[in-house]
A and B are shown apart, each in its own frame.
Chain A
Amino acid sequence: MKSHVSRRGMMGRIGAVLAGLLAGPVARTVRAAVSKGLASAGAAPGYEPAKHKWVMAIDANRCIGCGLCAQACKSENHVPAGPYYRTWIERYIILKPEAGADRARGETLVDSPEGGMRGFGQPSVAAERIQHSFFVPKLCNLCAHSPCTQACPVGATFDSPDGAVLIDPKYCIGCGFCIQACPYGCRFLSPVTHTAEKCTLCYHRITRGLKPACVEVCPTQARVFGDLKNSAPEDPIRQFYQNNLVQALKPQLGTDPRLFYAGIDKEVR
């Protein structure tokens, strides 16, 4: 039987072979670029991001506002002194309504002196006037649709397959667009490196099997950390989801945060 190979068919085959030959090096280059990016964030050698899915959760009911987490973060990650924080704690004080007022609640007061790093002093209002008071630790919200990654003009910020949103400091041009795009105020422009910085979940620690510094030092386990791809039902992170109704911050923006909170009020944003 005589086989007929058309010119178009032949071109197609040659194209396929060429594409096949090119695919290998391209894939290798992409892989190398990804590992270079991860390494720049401090990943352990040989670490495989696709095998993990890191998340954090906050049980605000447990937070006592001691500030150890913010302190630990500053020193662990060499965060510059001054108004630069990868994590911080906010104190919310919701006042009772004025006597005779037709409102369910009074004013909401929020503060975070030095990011809550040194704890919180006495509130500025008398205890009898307070209806509710609670602390809310804040950090990168680990958005599934992170606006910071979307906005970065050079791709220096990227979503790692393991759930961390990272920045390659050797690549960042310091335009600040990601800082403007983050709805949660979690990023800052470092006065030292002149690049954007943010919480990496202590990437240099978690890729070596350790917990993030803030989780490690939290005396009340208000911060829960885990790996969704490698967690048993009895692991704290699974227990957190099992035992709590949760909220995410600013859900209306569609960023789909993977940082969940238990025990926070509608006033938190």
Chain B
Amino acid sequence: MTNAITNLVVEAMPRFEGYVYPNEATHQPLWSVLIVLYPYITGLVAGAFIMASLVRVFKVKALEPVYRLSLLTAFAFLLGAPLPLLCHLGHPERCYEVMMTPHLTSPMAVFGFIYAWYLMAVLLLELWFDYRQDFVQWSRNTSGFRGILYRAFTLGVMDESKEAVGLDMKLGWIISIVGIPSAFLLHGYVGFIFGSIKANPWWGNPLMPIIFILSAIVSGIALCVFNYMVLMWVRRRSPDMRCLDAMGMFLFYALVMDAAIEGLDWVHRIYSADEAFQILRELATQKLFYTLNLGQVLLGTAVPLLLLGTLQVLRRRIPEAARKRMYFAGSALILLGVLAMRWNVVIGGQLFSKSLRGFMSYKMDFAGMEGWFMGAVLLALPFILLTVLVKLFLAERPPGRAP
């Protein structure tokens, strides 16, 4: 009812072109904006974690200033990742069945396990080993609720001996190593959910998991650049240029790989030109014109490639202030471009009929579970969580220390 009222002003009847199966002629696609957000947020988690492992496993010293921020980003976004899925279910109260009685031939069935593994065995453990010594010190220096909180986070392990701290480091390193394939698994699997659907020629594609992983890495690094710059701006501090340059370099190479694989996908589609090609071509050039050609390809890939590529070649000749702006613009555009990519995959796959004879339309509602508002809230939530986490665990001045 609320839906009906709030959408009254901008109500648009569903439009169809050509022939669509009668069950496809619904007001909204079955998977709408919430399912766009789900792979987007999951991808940001995987990418941010890979970013953190560059420091921990691959010992990229220049990235140390963003190590903890990347881990906290991954954590905040991982906490937000299942919400869109849950909100989308017809029966969210039965969601536990996915873990209690999983049907193992389904790509979706293992989500609960992969998610739990990633949250419990990778991120939480890594964060804990990384922060334990700090928790011990902070709990001594801080009073009140915060102090209690830090004390609780130590889980009672107050040992600060060299051996204990060394063991923390070692275990954290091992978990990081386990974490890299886990991050690939987390997002590759999301790609497989779509790639495994052979009924849909836009989705059913063996390259899909690889495309998802690469775009996840790109979006995750971009998010870390974005968050780092925003954090420095909020704290009125200048970002570490060595760190920014290093992030920019990784972002550029990841984007090159991502663009190459997505390009390969298109080359293959165009060259093999199977029975679905005609309708997919119309989809790409007309129905998804703005989000695919302008959003994903031009603004989300070509412009950032140009910006970051220029920075790779002419880094020393570009003044610092301009470099900062270019990194910020590049990362923000990539974040939008990857969101557009998720939109193109999820919504694009439902804009044409499986009869390959017609198109459906999609106009987002404002209110309701699958509306603009809900989408914005679910996308904002991880950022809010991250703000809290940064306040607690990445304070400008470590807790208890005099200003």
Please report A residues at the B interface, Cβ cutoff 8 Å: 82-85, 88, 90, 109-112, 114-115, 138, 147, 149-155, 171-177, 179-189, 193-195, 253-254, 269
Contact = CB atoms under 8 A, between A and B. Distances in A.
B19 A110 contact: yes
A228 to B, nearest CB: 25
Given A153-B102, A154-B94, A195-B90, 17 more contacts: A88-B22, A110-B19, A153-B106, A153-B108, A155-B101, A173-B90, A173-B91, A177-B106, A180-B30, A183-B198, A183-B354, A185-B354, A186-B23, A188-B23, A188-B26, A194-B90, A253-B198
Contacts, number: 121
B98 A153 contact: yes
A147 to B, nearest CB: 6
Contacts of B107: 151
| Residue in B22, B355, B356 with the greatest tally of chain A CB atoms within 10 Å | B22
B37 to A, nearest CB: 15
Nearest to A187: B23
Contact of B354 (A171, A177, A184): A184
A85 B31 contact: no
Interface of B: 19, 21-26, 30-31, 88-92, 94-95, 97-98, 101-103, 105-109, 111, 193, 196-200, 203, 349, 353-357
Contacts of A111: 19
A173 B197 contact: no
Contact of B91 (A151, A172, A269): A172
Given A153-B102, A153-B108, A185-B353, A180 B31 contact: yes
A259 B31 CA distance: 28
A154 B353 contact: no
A-B interface, 3 closest residue pairs, ranked by CB to CB distance from nearest: A174-B90, A185-B21, A194-B90
Most interface-central of A152, A175, A188 (chain B CB within 10 A): A175
A83 B25 contact: yes
A63 to B, nearest CB: 16
A88 B20 CA distance: 12
A173 B109 CA distance: 12
Contacts of B89: 173-175
Given A180-B200, A185-B24, A194-B90, A154 B101 contact: yes
Given A150-B105, A185-B21, A187-B23, A172 B90 contact: yes
Nearest to B92: A173
A154 B109 contact: yes
Contacts of A176: 30-31, 90
16 contacts: A84-B23, A151-B105, A152-B106, A154-B109, A155-B102, A172-B94, A173-B89, A173-B94, A173-B98, A175-B88, A177-B106, A179-B30, A181-B197, A186-B23, A194-B91, A269-B355
